Amino acid sequence: MTEDSKVIERVLDGDPEAFNLLIREWERPIYNFIVRMIGDRNEAMDLSQDCFMKAYRELRTLKDRDRFSSWLYRIAHNACLSQIRRNHGKTWVELDPDLGAAESPVENRLAVEKALAQLPPDQREAVILKVFQSLKFGEIAAIQDAPISTVKSRLYMGFEKLRAILG
């Protein structure tokens, strides 16, 4: 039983403070994922909060409590895709200095963020989950509701496009 599943048990048993433990653990990774997917820090903060509210409301529906993180990323994935559809046609590039590697010059981070924004959403998400969130192929497949081979293909195509864009 994972630490998250123990906390989930406490939440479901009525401990009002237990869900805050999950938020503290997962707030930053989920926010970072969302901001990289949609490119806007303010919208990402709102979406992140929405994801946690949805997770709290639907926690009883989670069948495998050891897969909480994949389930939470899936909620964030769906929120991002909905937001991307709403924002279709808008152009933005926004950076959070905390998101990039500290040793990278601002120009490099800007170029990477701008290049990521040019990828199709499914490829961008696969790259972000693999590179920035360090998830395994199986976890990404669960989040994207796709076979592992499709995830690998999306990553390969995404990396190829990034190489072409970044030179």
Q: What is the pLDDT of residues 56-97, one digit of tens each?
A: 999 999 999 889 999 999 999 999 988 888 876 554 444 444
What domains does the chain contain, in order, with CATH numbers? 3-166 (1.10.1740.10)
pLDDT at 92: 44
Q: Which residues of 101-134 are buried (b: 16+ CB within 10 A; e: fewer)?
A: eeeeeeeebebbbbbbbebeebbbbbbbbbbebe
pLDDT tens track for 115-165: 898 999 999 999 999 988 889 899 999 999 999 999 999 998 998 898 898
- In this structure, are residues 124 and 117 in contact, taking their beta carbons and an 8 Å threshold? yes
Q: What is the DSSP letter of 157?
A: H
- pTM of the entire predicted model: 0.70
pLDDT tens track for 96-114: 444 444 444 667 777 888 8
